[in-house]
């Protein structure tokens, strides 16, 4: 049996402002920094340790991983960064308010853009400054992989590819792995790992800064999973992600 930990970044300043983020490289909020440290402490208390870590090219995930590993005195382990673990690209919605967008297009449409498997958010155009081709960090990524928008279905393809090529062999080799990524890139990975249906995936919401521990069998199929920390707090965070307009105490 293998242990794998998935960690969504702590609250970002865009999460705080309730804005669509996607590939926008925004920082953690003060609360997000705190969540990242807390995640590290929870993992330490649980007796977890890691040999290798994976994260995206986006600083909210990179910093969350850093702060969590710092708490565990594991800053020395190899950390691999990849665009393939980036958040799902939110197209022309990036930077817009989720509430204003819901007022303009209706809750149902926004829910489809946020949670459905294959509905694409409105696309960017190539002259948009948000087009990732203009960002130096993606200079080695082939044009065909640079998104103008992305459905979860497309996110699954790139996440699954990276999982099978890079991460799964490390786990099978006995390495203890943590993946620090994003709400929708983790939904994509979980959909693949647990073979969740295209309809059921609508209801999956990943809380910020809360370690999710998986027990995997020899074929890397999940046998068990659980969040670390207070169940009540995790539930509140999940509700907040599901309905970002909700006020949390």
Q: Show which residues are catalytic.
A: 9, 87
Residue 90 binds ligand 3PG, judged by CB under 6 A: yes
| Binding-site member from 35, 71, 87, 150 for ligand 3PG (CB under 6 A) | 87
Matching residue, tokens 């909020």: 29
> Measured from the CB atom, is 81 or 88 closer to ligand 3PG?
88
* Least distance (Å) between residue 197 CB and ligand 3PG: 19
Q: Check residue 183 for interaction with ligand 3PG (CB under 6 A).
A: yes
Q: What's the rounded Cα separation, in Å, for the pair 178 and 176?
A: 7
Query: Residue 204: which of 242, 248, 249, 161 has the closest Cα?
Result: 242
Please identify which residue in 63, 81, 114, 191 interacts with ligand 3PG, judged by CB under 6 A.
114
Q: Tell me if 22 is assigned to a ligand binding site.
A: yes
Given the structure tokens 């809750």, which residue do they identify?
A: 107
Check the annotation: does 227 bind a ligand. no
Pick the stretch among 19-27, 127-135, 141-149, 164-172 that binds ligand 3PG (CB under 6 A).
19-27
Residue numbers belonging to the annotated binding site: 8-15, 21-22, 60, 87-90, 98, 114-115, 183-184
Query: Applying CB under 6 A, which residues contact ligand 3PG?
Result: 20-22, 87, 90, 114, 182-184, 241
């Amino acid at each position: 049996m293998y242990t794998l930990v998935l960690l969504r970044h702590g609250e970002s300043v865009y999460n705080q402002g309730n804005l669509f983020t996607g590939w926008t490289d925004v920082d953690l909020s003060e609360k997000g920094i705190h969540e990242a440290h807390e995640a590290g402490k929870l993992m330490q208390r649980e007796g977890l340790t890691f040999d290798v870590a994976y994260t995206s090219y986006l600083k909210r995930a990179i910093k969350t991983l850093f702060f969590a590993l710092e708490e565990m005195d594991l800053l020395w382990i190899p950390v691999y960064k990849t665009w393939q673990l980036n958040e799902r690209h939110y197209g022309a919605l990036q930077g817009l308010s989720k509430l204003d967008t819901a007022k303009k297009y209706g809750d149902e449409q926004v829910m489809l853009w946020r949670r459905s498997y294959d509905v694409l958010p409105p696309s960017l155009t190539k002259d948009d400054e948000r087009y990732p081709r203009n960002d130096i960090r993606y200079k080695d990524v082939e044009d065909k992989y640079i998104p103008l928008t992305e459905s979860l279905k497309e996110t699954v393809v790139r996440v699954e590819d990276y999982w099978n090529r890079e991460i799964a062999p490390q786990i099978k080799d006995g390495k203890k792995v943590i993946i620090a990524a994003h709400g929708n890139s983790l939904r994509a990975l979980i959909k693949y790992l647990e073979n969740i249906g295209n309809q059921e995936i609508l209801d999956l919401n990943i809380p910020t800064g809360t370690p999710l521990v998986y027990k995997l069998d020899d074929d890397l199929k999940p046998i068990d999973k659980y969040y670390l920390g207070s169940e009540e707090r995790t539930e509140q965070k999940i509700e907040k992600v599901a309905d970002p307009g909700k006020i949390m105490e």
